[in-house]
Structure 1
Amino acid sequence: MNVLLDNLDIFVTGFRNTLIMFFASGLIALVLGTIVGSFRVSPVAPMRALGTIYVNLVRNTPLTLIFFFFVFGYPKLGLPRADYIVLAIIALSLYTATYVAEALRSGINTVPLGQAEAARAIGLTFGQSMTLVVLPQAFRAIIPPLMNVFIALLKNTTIAAGFSVLDAGAIRAYLSERGEPQLVVLLWVAVIFIALAALLSWAQRALEKKWRLAR
């Protein structure tokens, strides 16, 4: 306990930045992934192609390389300067959105085709049928895989530690300079991560129970 209590400033700062990246990236990825997932099932061929290219290109690129691009390539594009934590959020968002899109596409495929046909029969456009009929049912079906995506996102935030972001992944390096036992530090980081993942799992079960009763 002394390792945790004596270095509470580093632990609080590290996990605060981790949670900032997690929530910001998760929200952006959810919105972007919903758009890309809708593109993937669109009846318009160019939109399907755009969604497919984005998913296949970004998802098959190692996340570390995406971080390298934003940390070292972004400044050379002449774009406005941004903090490393902002660049980390962008990298995590673009990468995670591909998994959200694929999870959503699988959820859309579970919705009976007759639902979309009935929506079009009463005059709804593709966008209206997606937002009012298909997506609400699809999101109910993908809660478990979607929560797994967010748990993976939480763990992926530690990559930012290698790019000058003081997050949970950087706590060990900072405390090693204070002479703290690294194994104990890593165990505390792991325990807190397990607690956060357990909280996400609880949220998953609560949402599943709520929406199951709603049906």
Structure 2
Amino acid sequence: MPKNDKRPIQLPRPTLERLKKYYAYLMQVDLEYISSEELAKKFNIRPEQVRKDFTYLNITGRPKIGYHIPPLIEELGELFGTGVMENIIIVGAGNLGSALAKYTGFEKIGVKVVAIFDNDPKKISSFVGELSVLPLSSLERAIKRFEVKIAAICVPEESAQKVASLLIRKGIKALWNFAPVPLKVPETIIVENQDITSGILSIKHVIKK
């Protein structure tokens, strides 16, 4: 793709997932250059796969030196839109929702938590970090005020679908779902599921071998 071509890049899902991992890793290393072999070793894949993944980016490596990390990070950041701040809200002020609200790394990737909600009267008006827990009745006002498109669902399984439907009615376009249940949503709505139970079971299965 030409350097000045700003059309959205259509990526295969496996490639997108690997590029996210590369980006997270490169943000942490204190290096000037990195080779496809080094990245391949880190993620237990073939160097050819790394180089193929990078063909979707406007960047090339140097023989025997590798990829210049600063422009590589910049290119990946542009791909993932980290240069544009996106506001996000959290529904569920329990342990998980509170931990997400306090996470300090979001702004590095262009995300800011602007509000947290709960339907428990004991939690409403309490503080999670610098945010006051709001009732669900304030959802629409907050979504419009902060122009929010993304919401994280951190509620019990039995409440997740109801919350998802409410958020969609109020204008949310993408759901980050931490509830261990599939959500029924219109095709136009983006859903990213984070199944913590499934994740830890996968890890236990691997280490058991």
Smaller-chain TM-score range? under 0.3
TM-score scaled to structure 1, two decimals?
0.25
Per residue, is there more strand in 1 or in 2?
Answer: 2
- The structure, 1 or 2, with the larger RCO (C-alpha pairs under 8 Å, 6+ apart) is 1
Per residue, is there more helix in 1 or in 2?
Answer: 1
TM-score scaled to structure 2, two decimals?
0.26
